[in-house]
Structure 1
Amino acid sequence: MKLLVPVKRVIDYNVKVRVKADGSGVDLANVKMSMNPFDEIAVEEAIRLREAGIASEVILVSIGVKQAQETLRTGLAMGADRAILVVASEDVHTDIEPLAVAKILAAVVAEEEPGAVICGKQAIDNDMNATGQMLAALLGWSQATYANKVTIADGYATVTREVDGGLQTVKVKLPAIISTDLRLNEPRYASLPNIMKAKKKPLAEKTAADYGVDVAPRLEIVKTGEPPERAAGIKVGSVDELVGKLKEAGVV
């Protein structure tokens, strides 16, 4: 069984994001980029399933700019078998919207015929949390989101999901879409020998036009701004004063 894992190139989670002076978006000049953390977890889970003998091949796919090759090579160095880069934009500031990504992924799925798609639950740049669900709808596949634990056997995936009330376990028939949450696993570091081997692994390059998908944006960013600064705290001298302040704030 093949496993398909979509990965996205995003600003590294350790970087403090800067907004452009004109408020038109985020400044990406000289900013470190890396694999979306949720996608990294998805790659790790797919590799573990292959190592357990459940999957035969792990295929990565990234949709965006040419620079996403670096992101795919990172996944290949972790242990994935091959990768597909779908160049959908020349501008690093252009974010391909979830519906367009889902349509391209649906075309890749039709071409590769994987037994499951394992993806991150959301990207940390736009936090839309929509691509996996849209892909499931386009394919007519089962879906299990926010995966905390994944077990695959006898043509079914048993997935423990993180929900507001705790944990929920669902059983879905394969092929299916599984989106990963933070506590599913801890991704491995790529060793130097594997980084060298990754340079020789197959990486096919295609375009959105090859799949007949229009990636023109349907959404318009009106304004981007910094989050409001947190107000300074105050010190209180006694419990009674604390209770009084809480009552003023309407907390109690």
Structure 2
Amino acid sequence: MSSAPEILKERIQAKLAELNVTAREISMGALNQPDAIRNIVRKGHMPAIDRLDAIAAELGTTTEWLLGRENAIERTISNEDAVRDDTFRQLPKTLPVYGSALGADLDFPDEGGIIVLVEQTEINMTAASIDYMARPIGVTGRPDLYVVTVSGHSMEPRWDSGRRVLVDPRRSPGVGDDVIVQLRGPTFDGEEIRHVLIKQLVRRKPGGVVLRQFNPDHTFTVPNEQVAAVHRVMPWDEALGF
């Protein structure tokens, strides 16, 4: 018997939480067997396609979606229905949250060549996460996503200090997107990343990345040799499927 893929387990659990039903209820409704879903999620058993079709139908979705072959975000809660708090508490807590602290200001040139002070955040991306939070159903099957806590006030009123932002390292950010710019170590030799900039992407240009912070309002350039990666901040409503 083949093993059930992780995305199947995650999406089944997410649909159970969204519908506020138990695995036993869906198993009985679909196959008249109490442990059908438990065998998938807990034991990793891959069901036959006809059995998975029955489970998908009982969950109000499709086998293709449960297996990650459809990109459409499934929602069975109507817009008129209030989402219960315990629904979110039941979602799998698999999104890693990395701790942060306000770092020393950095010097970067603005568009007129004048040096301005830019607020940075200290974080060790290679260390174990300090917490995990519930993974919205719209981003099941995305183990690369991570969460960073905003430190400082340079992005207010856009992002308040203490706000958690969801980061998508796969999709390239566009102009106007908020971004996490991972900086290299001070010797630029590929050391583990310890500092990030949480800013807005203005544009890319030869030799650097142009960013904006809001408090105080500065547009400045970070040289390419100091940039390890630029990751897009994913809006929470996108992750939730709204």
Fold match, TM over 0.5?
A: no
Higher relative contact order (CA 8 A, sep 6+): 1
- Relative to total residues, which structure has the larger helix share, 1 or 2? 1
Question: TM-score normalized by structure 2?
Answer: 0.22
